[in-house]
Amino acid sequence: MAFTLTEPLAIFPTFLAMPVASVAPSPVPADFGQRPVGTGAVAVRRVEHDDYLRFVRNPSYWSGASLSESLTVRIIPEALTRRPSFWRPDLCRRGPVRRDEEMGAGASRLAEA
């Protein structure tokens, strides 16, 4: 795909990053928005609606493969569930995070506020 502009337009790359300028197959499949793929350092491996997204390393990425083999992003829609979930050990690969470990000594006071 190529674009030829008739004059310089500095904001053009920003336009391409907007959802309305997404590259899509023609004809667009009915479930197109439900099957993301990813073309960056990671590719989408699995999507569980309202639960998680699992990404895996993309060895073909132009800038080199991701340093991580995989990444799982949890989706926690309920705010009352989301906040206490950050202190659960299963949400952090290396184990539980102490409240003051990552954000400084005052973090536990902020977390309680």
CA 65, 66, 68, 74: dihedral to nearest 10 degrees?
-130
- pLDDT score recorded for residue 105: 44
Number of domains in the chain: 1
Residue 15 falls within a domain, yes or no?
A: no
Q: What pLDDT was estimated at residue 113?
A: 39
Residue 5 in contact with residue 16, Cβ under 8 Å? no
Taking the chain (113 residues) in runs of 10, the rounded mean pLDDT of each run is 88 85 79 75 86 88 82 83 73 50 42 42
Residue 5 has a pLDDT of 92
Residue 13, domain member (yes or no): no
Measured between its terminal Cα atoms, the distance across the chain in Å is 52
pLDDT for position 90:
64
Residue 86 lies in a domain: yes
Structural domain that includes position 56: 34-94
Q: Provide the CATH number for the domain around residue 43.
A: 3.40.190.10
